[in-house]
Amino acid sequence: MDGAHDMGGVKGFGPVVPEANEPVFHGEWERRAFALTVAMARPGGWNIDMSRFARENRPPDDYLSKSYFQIWLAGLETLMIERGLVTREEIEAGQVLAPPKPGIKPVAPDEVTPAIRRGGPTERPAPAPALFKDGEIVRMKDIHPTTHTRLPLYVRGHLGTIEMNHGCHVFPDLNALGQGENPQWLYTVRFDGPELWGAGTDPTLSVSVDAWESYLERA
Amino acid sequence: MSGHDHDHHDHHHHHDHDHSELSETELRVRALESILTEKGYVDPSSLDLLIELYEKKIGPRNGIRVVAKAWSDPAYRARLLKDATAAIAELDYSGRQGEHMVVVENTPDQHNMVVCTLCSCYPHPVLGLPPVWYKSAPYRSRAVADPRGVLRDFGVALPEATKIRVWDSTAEIRYLVLPMRPEGTDGWSEEQLAELVTRDSMIGTGLAKQPGEAS
């Protein structure tokens, strides 16, 4: 989805302002919003691509005016409402108004550390040989999916060089829609600065993205 | 998401949140946690444990150990550059948001910088949760187009001839920068070297500290 989250190259946001001795969380509500989001994923039954889409699929002014963990909170609410785990009325009222969805099991304390240490590897067996080889020039497709994608706007239509092959990985565009993992080859594709940003760009700059095979076409 | 939020945001398109709005968010999170607990979807003790993990165990000190070991042990450095996930797991760091690691090495010829323009992808097992600036619009927008300008914001100036390579983490591969080992550190122990490694030097928005800078 072409949205406000896709920020590469957008002008006018001003300088980067680091915070000295920054804490991990700013305030208790950020701690709880983070932990709730992580702890609800398994009982809620959504995957990482669904949660990314729930965060980014909102009007640009809404996305840009919320702080990072406010976006997480809004994404969590969306995911739970969509699945009937809570109702919008319950969230607005701040209290339980409907019985729980049956069969939901919370993450138990003794499951927390093992689950975080295991993570969620996305590499899968290859369904077919890779189409592209290291060093090959490719063009990023100029496509504009209306649903989740990990193909940033700023590289679409541009020529890059295949630099690494990372194996086959879960394809987020379909995984976000609940249409299965559909693993595809994943490549690091490198672009020269001037190819992305035009003449006059710092010639020492190169940028890469990690791109699934279906984002690429032969140059 | 409430009507009040929208009214407020429509007048202020920026990230400064006043006290009353913060309180509203805080109340909303508190209420949500009690709803989810009452419904039996979450166990508050598990939430406490998750927070403790990310505040106490999973942080840049892990990445600092990786870098210091790579600086002092050439065989480890070679393994780290060849298969970062396995080499990092040797130090017992693994898991969520670090399942597929790649380490990129700074040299006199090339400086590496890591960003996620689409959200906030970051190698948690070695660096912890990302700082606010890493998730912010200024960094996500400018890192890929004007990394030297971003470095200036961090007070870093690289030689003009140094190539800059920006890695946009658009998939589940997570990148860690191996900064250059500072001059004048021959014979230093891993523990001494660790004092020179900063979080920002492992993202590529900073350099390792010089021996005199170590606190």
Q: Determine the Cα–Cα distance for residues A98 and A101; give it in Å rounded to an integer.
A: 9
> Is pTM, for the whole model, over 0.90?
yes
* Pairwise CB contact (< 8 Å): B133 & A17: yes
Specify the 3-state DSSP secondary structure of A191.
strand
pLDDT of residue A211: 98
Closest CA to B53 of A53, A107, A122, A71: A107
Specify the pairing of strand A205-212 against strand B163-168: parallel
DSSP string for residues in A126-169 = -SS--S--TT-EEEE-----SS-----GGGTT-EEEEEEEEEEE
Within 13 A of A56's CA, how many CA atoms are on the CB side? 23
pLDDT category, B215, cuts 50, 70, 90? low
When CB atoms are compared, the residue of A101, A121, A208 closest to B100 is A121
Residue A84: is it exposed, middle or buried by C-beta count within 10 angstroms (0-12/13-18/19+)? exposed
| Domain ranges, ordered by start, for chain A | 28-118, 137-218
pLDDT of residue A3: 97
Instruction: Indicate whether A105 pLDDT > 70.
Output: yes
Residues pairing with B175 in the sheet: B102
Beta-carbon contacts below 8 Å between A and B: 277
Q: State the average pLDDT over residues A49-78.
A: 98
Is there a contact between A173 and A150 (Cβ–Cβ < 8 Å)?
A: yes
Q: Mean pLDDT for chain B?
A: 92
pLDDT category, A157, cuts 50, 70, 90? very high
Q: State the average pLDDT over residues B129-142.
A: 98
pLDDT of residue A45: 97
Q: pLDDT digit string (tens) for B11-52?
A: 444 444 455 555 899 999 999 999 999 999 999 999 999 999
pLDDT category, A29, cuts 50, 70, 90? very high
* Pairwise CB contact (< 8 Å): B117 & A17: no
The reply to whether A79 touches chain B by the CB within 8 Å rule is no
Specify the 3-state DSSP secondary structure of A97.
coil
pLDDT category, A93, cuts 50, 70, 90? very high
pLDDT of residue A38: 98
Which residues 6+ apart lie within 8 Å of B97 measured at CB? A119, B121, B122, B123, B124, B125, B174
Q: pLDDT digit string (tens) for A165-192?
A: 999 999 999 999 999 999 999 999 999 9
* Pairwise CB contact (< 8 Å): B132 & A116: no
Which residues on B lie below 8 Å from A73 (Cβ)? Answer: 25, 28-29, 32
DSSP string for residues in A18-37 = --TT--SSSSHHHHHHHHHH
* Pairwise CB contact (< 8 Å): B49 & A7: no
The reply to whether A68 touches chain B by the CB within 8 Å rule is yes
Residue-wise burial string across B138-164, b where 16 or more C-beta atoms lie within 10 A, e elsewhere:
bbbbbbbbbbbebbebbebebeeeebb
Tokens of A114: 């093992």
Q: Please give the class, per CATH, of domain A137-218.
A: mainly beta
Q: pLDDT digit string (tens) for B186-205?
A: 999 999 999 999 999 999 99
pLDDT of residue B213: 83
Specify the 3-state DSSP secondary structure of B186.
coil
Superfamily of domain A28-118: Nitrile hydratase, beta subunit (1.10.472.20)
Instruction: Indicate whether B9 pLDDT > 70.
Output: no
The reply to whether B78 touches chain A by the CB within 8 Å rule is no
Does residue B96 come out as left (phi exceeding 0), alpha (psi in the -120 to 50 range) or beta? Answer: beta
Is there a contact between B106 and B112 (Cβ–Cβ < 8 Å)?
A: yes
Name the closest residue on chain B to residue A89, using Cα atoms: B2
Residue at token pair 């010089």:
B210
pLDDT category, B212, cuts 50, 70, 90? confident
Instruction: Indicate whether A78 pLDDT > 80.
Output: yes
pLDDT category, B8, cuts 50, 70, 90? very low
pLDDT of residue B7: 39
ipTM above 0.90, yes or no: yes
**Rg of chain A over all Cα atoms, to the nearest angstrom:** 20
Residue at token pair 């170590």:
B214
Tokens of A99: 């019985």
Q: Determine the Cα–Cα distance for residues B77 and B74; give it in Å rounded to an integer.
A: 5
Which residues on A lie below 8 Å from B12 (Cβ)? Answer: 65
Residues pairing with A169 in the sheet: A123, A184
Name the closest residue on chain A to residue B139, using Cα atoms: A16
Q: Look at the alpha carbons of B16, A149, A49, A24 in this order and tell me if their dihedral is positive or negative.
A: negative
Cα→Cα distances A118→A14, A121, A188, B89, B100, Å? 38, 8, 24, 11, 12
Q: Determine the Cα–Cα distance for residues A17 and B94; give it in Å rounded to an integer.
A: 30
Question: Which one-letter DSSP state was computed for residue B181?
Answer: P
